[in-house]
Structure 1
């Protein structure tokens, strides 16, 4: 099966002379324009990272809906929504509406999230772990409640004197988008959470950061995570074939502007270190080279060979035109050699 290739944008903005994305409005509008441009050049997906309390993209539903209204073919997703901050039922309404606007093209990545800008930021959104839970448990609980809602489960007792007539029986969250449940992805940072995603019938999303569980190179650990996910999925009958995405920072150097920005910036090795007091992690290398050299390097990336979807992280603040060039250069000069159509 040919790989799908899309972009992943963090939507950074900064009021700085060198930035082409100065405000939150710039970030949102340019994100829409970049998705339109990506569709025009033949990319498969437009994905957006979600961070709260940061000059980056936040609540995803308005952006996903806007991109869905401006495009016709491209998949639209997140990588990932931090479910510690999400009201499961309100989020289910918003995402179903965005999916219907896009006519069923959402590929929604959710997760526990990464270390955030503020301490326990989810508290400011009105959420607290239940008795015996930690914040990761709360994120998984919110996720399961969200999944139940988008499945269309009827659970709410109708008012005997409603403003509008109700259908018989209990009521569900509306609108309902058929098929959305099979297009939810879990961002897994460990082998255990990848297996949990398989148990719960979610696709797997694995980024450039993973718990260091064996000390092996990042791409090897990530390939083993993908294998663990598929082995666990095979224990169930979820009724559909799962997908696996990975993220990479890859820059094909094809002109002088590329050389000025990225020549020599590719990292030859992974980075290991602690991301908090409990977790040792490995951060995957980035790639920046001439196309032939990139192809040689990427064919040795075991996780890239095991995944079916590749998300390229883009330098948002360089603007829509340059990021479209980055994506097109990769798709033209590198992607066919690594399994793209």
Structure 2
């Protein structure tokens, strides 16, 4: 529970990556360069968010595999992988391969539910099985069993000159203990705790029909509900993922851009949005001293010892270099964090 004078344990960042549809390579290369920079700055982790059929990272595992060959220490994560887009068996193979390549640095973050715009995409994604697919917690349970090394096939042995295993290959021991669940409601957080998963919180919560739309109070209650559901032998890591923009070394032009960005997103923070009654946290903009003060006043921040600060969307590479550098060299120390060796 960070308080002034109490050190933050781990500092990470989250990004969606952006690129031009006409020339996608530079955007992907910039993101790889940002991950390399983050390792140099001492960040503990980098997390990628999926952007299917958009101009953001559609395949975090592929990009992180490339990053694993350019880095040696920084941990990787997905925040989060919507499992409705994935086949658990095939995804288990991808995650295990990445974990082996990276030397055990992968932290899969997951969520469930139908894919976004499912009616429009199901003919391509599940042309023959759309009505039969299970998008509930069962999909996570299937993935967990496969990561644990439980049987994926009833056949194993030698056929001709080929050898077959009955479980996912490569198997990466310990990967299943680094799985996180992205929860925006008490129900999901309690389920994650009961399964022994780690908990990712973000800048979005669900507001009950008769509930006061107080983001920090709702999120802190969700974190406590998660911890209450954990088995005694599970430590249960919890991370918070607010959008944070330190401006210490930003130019006047950058500050004006950041301010306009925050102001454009602020109206959605005053009341629940849409039929899901989603409430968004206000982005935190200012000097590292100002940001640290706002975080220490945030009830949910005081419940965690790890953060994965989300980078704002759609900025330039130079903006992300400034923000990441200020996070690691100014904001982190203001929160008592010490950079990784």
TM interval, short-chain normalised: 0.7 to 0.9
1:260 correspondence with 2:256: yes
Judge conservation of contact 2:19–2:25 (CA < 8 Å) in 1: no
- Structure 2-normalised TM-score? 0.86
Paired position in structure 2 for 1:324? 321
Unpaired segments ≥5 residues, structure 1: 16-21
| 1:59-97 CA-partner distances (Å, limit 9, x unpaired) | 222112111121111011111111011100000001100
SS in 2 for 1:334: helix
Aligned partner of 1:202 in structure 2 is 197
CA contact (8 A) 2:213 2:279 kept: no
In the TM superposition, residue 37 of structure 1 has moved relative to its aligned partner by: 0.7
Verify: 1:111 aligned to 2:111, yes or no. yes
1:38 aligns to what? 38
**CA RMSD of superposed structures (Å):** 2.5
Map 1:156-235 → 2, pairs under 5 A:
156-158=153-155, 162-164=159-161, 166=163, 171-213=166-208, 214-233=211-230
CA contact (8 A) 1:27 1:57 kept: no
Cα drift, residue 165 of structure 1: 5.9
Tell me which residue corresponds to 1:4. Answer: 10
Closer, same or farther: CA 149–299 of 1 in aligned 2, 3 Å = same
Task: Tell me if structure 2 keeps the 8 A contact 1:50–1:80.
Answer: yes
Helix, strand or coil: the match of 1:242? Answer: coil
Judge which range, 195-204 or 289-298, deviates more.
289-298
| Matched position secondary structure for 2:166 | coil
Q: Which shows bigger deviation, 30-39 or 331-340?
A: 331-340
| Structure 1 pair 155–220 and aligned structure 2 pair: CA distance change class (3 A) | same
The equivalent residue for 2:76 is 76
Q: Which has the higher contact order (CA 8 A, sep 6+)?
A: 2
Query: Is contact 2:39–2:71 with CA below 8 Å preserved after alignment?
Result: yes
Question: What is the distance in 2 between the residues matched to 1:23 and 1:5?
Answer: 32
**Which stretch of the first structure deviates more once superposed, 212-221 or 74-83?**
212-221
Instruction: Label 1:184 to 1:251 Cα distance change in 2 as closer, same or farther (>3 A).
Output: same
Aligned to 2:3: none
Number of matched residues?
323
Cα distance between partner residues in 2 of 1:336 and 1:142: 40
TM-score normalised to structure 1 length = 0.86
Answer yes or no: is 1:128 the counterpart of 2:125: no
Pick from 233, 250, 256: which aligns with 2:244?
A: 250
The answer as to whether partners of 2:288 and 2:334 remain within 8 angstroms in 1 is: no
In structure 1, C-alpha distance between the alignment counterparts of 2:114 and 2:292, rounded to whole Å: 30
Report deviation, 1:217: 1.5
Counterpart of 2:4 in structure 1 is none
How many Å separate the matches in 1 of 2:204 and 2:307?
Answer: 15
- Structure 2 gap segments, 5+ residues each: 1-6
Distance in 1 (alpha carbons) for counterparts of 2:114 and 2:18: 16
The answer as to 2:44 corresponding to 1:47 is no
Q: Secondary structure at the match of 1:11?
A: coil
